[in-house]
Amino acid sequence: MSDNINTQDTVKWIEEAVNKEYFKFYEYNQFNNIQHIGTGGFANVFRANWKNSEKLFALKSFFRLNNVTVEEFVRELKIQRDVDFHDNIIRCYGITKLKSDNHNNYLLVMEYADGGSLRNYLKKNFNNLTWNDKYNMAYQLSCAVLCLHNEEIVHRDLHSCNILVRNKIIKLADFGLSRRIGESSDSRSKLFGMVPYINPKKFNRRRNDNNQSTEIHGRPPFEGEQYDVSLALEISLGLRETIVPVTPEKYIEIYTKCWDGEPGNRPIRCLQRGSKPGPDPARNPGTDRKVEF
């Protein structure tokens, strides 16, 4: 009963936000050629044309809107609003609503990333990327994360499927699990996310802390391994990936330090080296920057 009340209250907040034009509302019937392109932990994602034009949007439809998913919807909507100015964060244009028996079936209307996820992009294009291309992608991602932290936000689910590519530009996405720095969270809640990317400290402590440095760096995936409790245990005991052959020494130095089990030992701003003079990397990073180490 309480879940239904909370859901109704949150949906009422969404409707009031639309009525007060805090967010743009799109009529669902303005979209056509709707195609399913992905599924995440809480939502399905579709690609759609708008008003019979070539303009493409991504529509993010959350699974059955219960008390949990409607909160994820609103949280993502609010966080997107606060970081919408950054070139390396996916844009949220507004909200639409699917007319159905479920009156709460809201969808986020978002920027469409034609390159797909970083994981798939690298699978398709890795051999064609120079090391400077890779440096630039790492730099853009670090700028997006820095922007979040400047806004007192931690992502909490940073991995290569939540990083998108549009016109060869990095776009950080999926803020459903994100939190404000200092925002309370239930220490008994389920540990979400992809095991290889989770801070090792999470596997052997009961409570989360709000130290920004614990949330910055993802972990390279353990390809071929089951992403399960056994892998989590091995990581907590010190298991790390092997070094990728022919990787430049300076880059090895950076990303192996990012694997350190102690958050305070990680090079938090290492990827901002070489960013000055120039524009503030937290607002509008250059995408053709030659990154020096």
How far is the C-alpha of 176 from the C-alpha of 158, rounded, in Å? 11
Q: Is 99 annotated as a binding residue?
A: no
Grouping H, G, I as helix, E, B as strand and the rest as coil, residue 48 is strand
237 secondary structure, DSSP code = T
Residue-wise pLDDT tens digits, 194-206: 544 455 555 454 4
Q: What is the model's pLDDT at position 221?
A: 52
Higher pLDDT, 50 or 205: 50
Cβ–Cβ < 8 Å for 233, 246: no
Percent of the chain with pLDDT over 70: 68
Q: Give percent of the chain above pLDDT 90.
A: 27
Residue keyed to tokens 């950080």: 172
In the predicted structure, residue 165 carries a pLDDT above the cut 80: yes
Structural domains of the chain, with CATH: 2-111 (3.30.200.20), 118-272 (1.10.510.10)
On the question of pLDDT at 114 being above 90, the answer is: yes
pLDDT tens column, 210-260:
444 433 333 345 666 666 677 777 877 788 888 878 888 988 888 888 888
Of 37, 81, 80, 91, whose CA–CA distance to 175 is shortest? 80
Among all chains, which residue has been given the structure tokens 């639309």? 18
- For 193-280, where are the alpha helices, taking DSSP H only? 229-236, 249-258
Whole-angstrom Cα Rg for the chain: 20
